[in-house]
Amino acid sequence: MPESKTLTIKRPDDWHVHFRDGAMLATVVPYTARQFARAIVMPNLVPPVTTITAANAYRDRIAAAVPEGVAFTPLMTAYLTDETDTDELANGFEQGVFSAVKLYPAGATTNSASGVTDISRVAGVLERMQDIGMPLLVHGEVTDPDVDVFDREAVFIDQVMSQLVADFPALKVVFEHVTTRDAVDFVADQSGPVAATITAHHLVINRTDIFRGGIRPHLYCLPIAKREVHRQALRAAATSGNAKFFLGTDTAPHAISVKETACGCAGIFSAPTALEVYAGVFDEEAALDKLENFASLNGPAFYGLAANTETVTLERAELVVPESVISAEGEAVQPFQAGETLGWRLA
Ligand code: DOR
Ligand code: ZN
């Protein structure tokens, strides 16, 4: 079969992004808006986004950073805490302000200190969310410092996720940024409304890459990349066409100064070329015909939204990832695969 030179798909959405705030927000939003029609925006600001008022204000700041002439809709999320007011969430969902709720186990990752200390404390909130069809987005890692960092996702399935889906069988749950074969199998096996996002970087790197020739802080994120067998399981799931798996980049910009340091932050900034990286993976897996399902159809179907009607075209052409992007305050951020040449580009 001759290789096709272009691929046209319905415009995709990104179901997991970190935009930050202030000068960083202004710098990174255009990269996501260039490729994606909508994005689920994570609420882990300091302080976290917990109220309708805060989410509306944050949405307006994001909208102000979208370039002229670009159509982009941020979908806002609420940050779940032990003290979350159920009515605030439900009202926000019913008013169309909140699209979902994000569960960070307290201490699991960047700006998660206000997260949930024990899932039993939010049982009432989850009950109500189940009733009204409001999705729960889960950072699926245990926080016990004695659990090996590479095992935290698999242990979370046994200790938390299995019980969660048993206790709330009709709750819409997204297992965010899955990194293990265990998580892929768990999600695929569920008969209820349980789905998963998969990042571009977890499809490309395994844990050995973090240490290739020296320690590479720009490949450090949470959940951390796992062994090659897990990367292969993620690639199989993403390219399978299974509607339970969809695109969520988890693009998470941090200034180079806080990445390249003695105790660097977790997060990979993949927004500048995310769609092109995914396209390269699907091409390598001979599954370009499944990219539209993963990037443009499965996510909206899970969230109960219509797919986008406009299309985007990717072309087989060289694209060099920028070495860095600089914010208005002069902070530099290094994109995923900075300086490397990709084989696909948005036309
Ligand atoms: O690597 C990560 N960075 N993982 C997360 O869960 C949060 C994110 C961030 O906000 O920087
Ligand atoms: Zn994230």
- Domains of the chain with CATH codes: 6-346 (3.20.20.140)
**pLDDT range class, residue 4, cuts 50, 70, 90:** confident
Best mutation site among 28, 110, 138 for ligand 1, i.e. most ligand atoms within 8 A of its Cβ?
110
Q: Which of 13, 182, 250, 283 is catalytic?
A: 250
- How many helices (H) and strands (E) the chain has is answered by 13, 13
- 88 CA distance to ligand 2 middle (Å): 23
Residue with tokens 């994109």: 335
- The predicted structure's pLDDT at residue 328: 85
Is 250 in the active site?
yes
Residue 1 reports pLDDT greater than 80: no
Distance 14 CA to ligand 2 centre (A): 12
The token pair that represents 27 in the structure block: 């710098």
Taking residues 23-40, what's their average pLDDT?
A: 98
80 Cβ closer than 6 Å to some ligand 1 atom: no
Range 231-237 average pLDDT = 99
**Nearest ligand by distance to the CA of 258:** 1
Q: Does residue 56 register a pLDDT over 60?
A: yes
Task: Report whether pLDDT(38) > 90.
Answer: yes
Closest residue (by CA) to atom 10 of ligand 1? 110
* Across 129-145, average pLDDT: 97
* Closest by CA position to 187, among listed 138, 128, 117, 120: 138
**pLDDT above 90 as % of the chain:** 97
What is the arithmetic mean of pLDDT over 22-47?
Answer: 98
The residue to which tokens 């024990």 are assigned? 118
pLDDT of residue 3: 76
Distance (angstroms) between ligand 2 centre and the Cα of 146 equals 23
Would you place residue 344 in the very low, low, confident or very high pLDDT band (cuts 50, 70, 90)? very high
Please say if the pLDDT value at position 334 is more than 80: yes
Residue 2 — pLDDT band, cuts 50, 70, 90? low
State whether the beta carbon of 252 lies less than 6 angstroms from ligand 1. yes
Whether 138 lines ligand 1, by a CB cut-off of 6 Å, is no
Alpha helices (H) along the chain: 22-35, 52-64, 86-94, 123-132, 152-156, 162-167, 181-189, 200-204, 228-238, 256-259, 274-284, 291-292, 298-303
Nearest CA to ligand 1 atom 7: 110
Q: pLDDT confidence of 313, banded at 50, 70, 90? A: very high
Q: How far is the CA of 27 from the centre of ligand 1 (A)?
A: 18
pTM for this one? 0.98
Probe residue for ligand 1, chosen from 138, 221, 333, 336 as the CB with the greatest number of ligand atoms within 8 Å: 221
Tell me the CA–centroid distance for residue 142 and ligand 1, in Å: 15
Q: For residue 108, give the ligand 1 atom closest to its CA.
A: 6
CA gap 76, 131 in Å, rounded: 20
